[in-house]
A and B are shown apart, each in its own frame.
Chain A
Amino acid sequence: MEFISQHPILVAAVVKIAVLLFIVMTALAYLTWLERKAIAHIQSRWGPYNVGAHGLLQPLADGIKFLFKEDVTPPAADKLAYLLAPFLALALGLSAIALIPFGPPSVRFPNGEQIFSVVDINIGLLLLFAITSMGVYGVALAGWSSNSKYPLLGGLRSSAQMISYEVSLTVSVVGVILLAGTLNFNEIIAGNGQPGQFGQTGHWFHFIPRWYIFPQIIGFLCYLTSAIAETNRVPFDLPEAETELVAGFHTEYSSFKFAMFFMAEYANMITVSCLATILFLGGWLSPFPDTGIWHYQIFLPSAGLLALAAYCAWNTVSEMRGIARLQLGVVTLLAGGGGLICLYRPIAEGVQGPFWFTTKILAILFFYIWMRATLPRFRYDQLMSFGWKLVLPVSLANLVITALVIILWPHLRHG
């Protein structure tokens, strides 16, 4: 017991890591569910519907399938690199989530430690880029260690694509850093009033929020393009598409190791969406001003949850049969209970930060899924020339113009 009182920060960090890991793994699983449902509805079909009510137990079924498949190792594979690659990919993808603040730093534990981020580092943005730049190793080692043609080609192409778009990813973000004057996530979102550091709080003309997406729209578009290429998603997923190179660098992996690559890809997607939210979309800030009738915006989470409960209740009564009825009834009760809890004012105010953060992340993830359902893929040489000849010069031009504007008109930075 004295250990807990002597090292409060360490214990709080361990508890936060455990909770965050649980939430993130569940979110990864249900992100696959969301993707399959969204793509299916865009293609005029239902998607997973039978496994649980509305397919809600499909991720669990997929997880059990992955665990019980036979684990085949190619005979001439390099054992160390073959085993290391999926672990490295998943570990890096998950550890980036530790740096992200999900809510305002003013909400704290009784001993003074902030609740909504595991750590608060002054160079948080740089460390996040460091973690994503190490992610190339998972792909390169997987491709090489499988000792076979298709994974080697897929791994080489995929890692070359990742390091190319990493450059434009980093450059497109520097415009935001110039405007904010700091690398710390909490100060990029909220600022702290010191000269040269201005966050994204407040509104222009009383209704447009001061997010960095508005002055840095070109930077945002370059960032989004580079992020989709960096995470190997459509339209940039030639190295791992099924019709092209069998399955690219993870051809020779089966069962749990393949599941780890799969989870690592979605974890990278979540990390990149979190970064886009923090830098360009105002993080955990609400888009609505805080005056007059907008004071009631703190009841939005409970309104959303109660609406979800109402829809599930109607669906349970009218359409579901058998065990699906029971499952959807449980979902209704949980959503209704959550909605009622959020009506209590202190909890509603505490939940505001994570609520807006999650909404913005879901919007960006939906955009990712929408692109997957809609666009054809780039050929590899088109992809590389697009990255080096279009995206990188445009983000460099954005950087130079932002720097010029800041030098010539310093008052513009203040709003």
Chain B
Amino acid sequence: MIAILLFMVCAALAVAGAVTLIWAKEPIHSALALVLVMVALAVLYLLLGAPFIAAVQIIVYAGAIMVLFVFVIMLLNAGVEERTNFSKLAIPGVVLAFVLLLEIAHWMFHSAIGRALANGANAPTTEASTYDLSEMLFKQYLFPFEATSILILIAVLGAWVLARREP
């Protein structure tokens, strides 16, 4: 009961944040709306039994990446969103995306796998502990882990090279 209420509130906040991102004229308001979306999604991860991922989402995504976005908007004193003619390809694209969504919904509700998944068969009842997650991360997925650390190093070097003033 409380879980359903919490889900509805967080889903409404997430969709409201996404709509505000589209509707706002100032980029800072879009950034704040995106932070709201991320916090709502973190609560949804908690509901889905993944507390570690919820904490990582807030620490990394909402607390570092979005701060970087807000910094850049502040530093560049980015102007307001201008209204120009949008591209002609957009309307058929949106229609096709909607059709794709309907097809996925049809698969989900009318096939055996889809129905089993949708009803939550063999879902675990306890939350994913940090210990199990880190064991999988460091034993099975060790190579991608080390590769992403090199990726972060490359990103830091790239950002530094791109943004420095020419000596």
Contact = CB atoms under 8 A, between A and B. Distances in A.
Interface of A: 78, 80-81, 84, 121-123, 126-127, 129-130, 133-134, 136-137, 140-141, 143-144, 152, 155-156, 159-160, 163, 183
Interface residues of B, number: 22
Contacts of B26: 78
Q: Which of B29, B55, B70, B71 has the most CB of A within 10 A?
A: B55
Contact of A80 (B32, B64, B127): B32
A152 B70 CA distance: 13
Contacts of B59: 126, 129-130, 133
Given A80-B32, A81-B32, A130-B58, A123 B67 contact: no
B55 A140 contact: no
A183 B59 CA distance: 15
Contacts of A129: 55, 59
Q: Is the interface of A mostly helix, strand, loop or mixed?
A: helix
A134 B58 contact: yes
B74 A130 contact: no
Given A122-B129, A123-B51, A152-B74, A163 B58 contact: no
A127 B55 contact: yes
A51 B62 CA distance: 44
A183 B133 CA distance: 14
A133 B28 contact: no
Contacts of B56: 126
Interface in B16-54: 26, 28-29, 32, 35, 51-52
Contacts of B52: 123, 126
Contacts of B32: 80-81, 84, 141
Interface of B: 26, 28-29, 32, 35, 51-52, 55-56, 58-59, 62-64, 67, 70-71, 74-75, 127, 129-130
B70 A140 contact: yes
9 contacts: A81-B32, A84-B32, A126-B52, A130-B58, A134-B58, A134-B62, A140-B71, A141-B70, A144-B28
Nearest to A160: B71
Nearest to A129: B59
A152 B71 CA distance: 11
Nearest to B42: A130
Contacts of B35: 137
Contacts of A155: 74
Contacts of B55: 123, 126-127, 129-130
B157 to A, nearest CB: 15
A128 to B, nearest CB: 9
A81 B67 contact: no
Nearest to A140: B70
Given A133-B64, A137-B70, 5 more contacts: A78-B26, A121-B51, A122-B130, A129-B55, A163-B67
A152 B55 CA distance: 30
Contacts of B71: 140, 156, 159-160
